[in-house]
Chain A
Amino acid sequence: MKALWSGIFKRDLALAFRQRSELAQPLMFLLMVVTLFPLGVGPGPATLQKIGPGVIWIAAILSSLLAMDRMFRDDFWDGSMEQYLLSGQSVWAISAVKVLVHWLVSFVPLLILSPLLALFLNLTVQMYTALMLTLLLGTPLLSLVGAIAVGLTVGLQRGGVLLALLLIPVFIPLLIFATSAVDAAALQLPYRAHLAIIGAMLLAAMAAAPMAIAYALKVSQN
């Protein structure tokens, strides 16, 4: 436990703060994509409110893909991964900690930024609450599932586009439930069922993803 805390968690956080620009860039990308929509589809408040939740979610997924391979790429190429595998710690636990740090440094800033995005797109308070809840449940799912694909593609020289092609279809169910929850909130309907389904997907991913990531990382060493 201590090994994971001071060997992986603290290390990854220290690295993230040292490479702040790498973390800020996807966030800037997200902000710019969201601001493009009012310019592109017209600034009508009703239109923006209608497309808003979808825009924020799609921008969040696309921007997360930009920095997703940070999770294991450097470790793979500089040989740190080999040292992790030989450290005697279980690989799934190391993967889980790395995914947690990834979520903390790339999605928590997004959650903090989200009120601003909601304001840009004229979301009501109910819609924003629902959006926040879906982001809170949905973004860890992006990190967990993304990590499996990163583990599978980490050994490839140019895995970036392949990573996006692998992941975008997988994120479709999440996108559907997340945006329909916000739509339901806009109509003042209950959206607990949507949240429950996203929560169920998250729990399933939490149970299965660390093993899958560990397997992918071991295979990448062969």
Chain B
Amino acid sequence: MAGLTAHTLTCVKRDRVLFADLSFTLPAGSLTYLRGPNGAGKTSLLRLLTGLSLPDQGEILFNDAPIAECLPQFHASLTYIGHKPGLNSALSAIENLQYWCAQHSIGFSLDTAYKVLTILGLVGLEDIPIRMLSAGQQRRVALARLWLKSADVWILDEPFTALDVNGIKLLETHMRSHVEQGGTVITTSHQALSEVAGPVTLLDLEYRI
């Protein structure tokens, strides 16, 4: 089963130890809610888990193999949505998603894309440059990737930012159905997840001085 294991991770930023000897497992079929105050290293930890940056010590295992050794397979079964939406502001929602799918070698059909954007409540906004959309709508376009790519592991950094109540509920429902199908989700958020999201494992980071 797909799962992600962190083994004695240490991350140092500007001579400050964010966390040290951190070990945990994100088993398949689980939703992990990463908590911690500002500056505790939540984003740094998530970026380590994606392989975008490298830990100062320790390693991350995907299906019991270090991610450095199976990077293409790992990235093929990963969707990461970071702080930055990863959308070009001059391109429309459809174009952004189409090029993203092509980069990730996912089959793309306009029908599917329109369907996903309809679920996300973006009907009529598909062809407008992203910069004309509101922050919440931009976030919804970024989140459309979770519907388009069938990845096992989702790493989400503050996915609820700028979303309205309906948007939050929609995403929580989607996370729950993903977990029920055996997917792995790790997310950060400033508001507690509601019961819509299903059973949650908590992972706390402390602010270290």
Beyond A79-B84, A221-B53, is A8–B103 a contact (Cβ under 8 Å)? yes
Number of A-B residue pairs, CB cutoff 8 Å, is: 86
A82 and B53 contacting across the interface, CB-CB below 8 Å: no
Residues of chain B within 8 A (CB-CB) of A78 are 84-89
A6 and B102 contacting across the interface, CB-CB below 8 Å: yes
Residues of chain B within 8 A (CB-CB) of A80 are 86-88
Distance of A77 Cα from B86 Cα, bound (Å): 8
Distance of A80 Cα from B89 Cα, bound (Å): 11
A88 and B52 contacting across the interface, CB-CB below 8 Å: no
- Within 8 Å by CB of A87, from B51, B75, B91, lies B75
Beyond A87-B75, A88-B75, A221-B52, is A3–B87 a contact (Cβ under 8 Å)? no
Judge if B83 is at the interface, Cβ distance under 8 Å: yes
Residues of chain A at interface, number, CB under 8 A: 27
Closest-CB distance, A92 to chain B (whole angstroms): 14
Residues of chain B within 8 A (CB-CB) of A41 are none
Closest-CB distance, B21 to chain A (whole angstroms): 21
Judge if A206 is at the interface, Cβ distance under 8 Å: no
Chain-B contact segment, one of A13-21, A60-68, A143-151: A13-21
Residues of chain A within 8 A (CB-CB) of B99 are 6-8, 10-11
CB interface residues, B 17-56, toward A, < 8 Å: 47, 50-54
Distance of A83 Cα from B96 Cα, bound (Å): 12
12 cross-chain CB contacts under 8 A: A2-B105, A3-B105, A6-B102, A8-B103, A19-B90, A75-B88, A78-B89, A79-B86, A79-B87, A84-B103, A86-B80, A222-B53
Which residues of B approach A to under 8 Å, CB–CB? Answer: 47, 50-54, 71-72, 75-76, 78, 80, 82-91, 95, 99-105
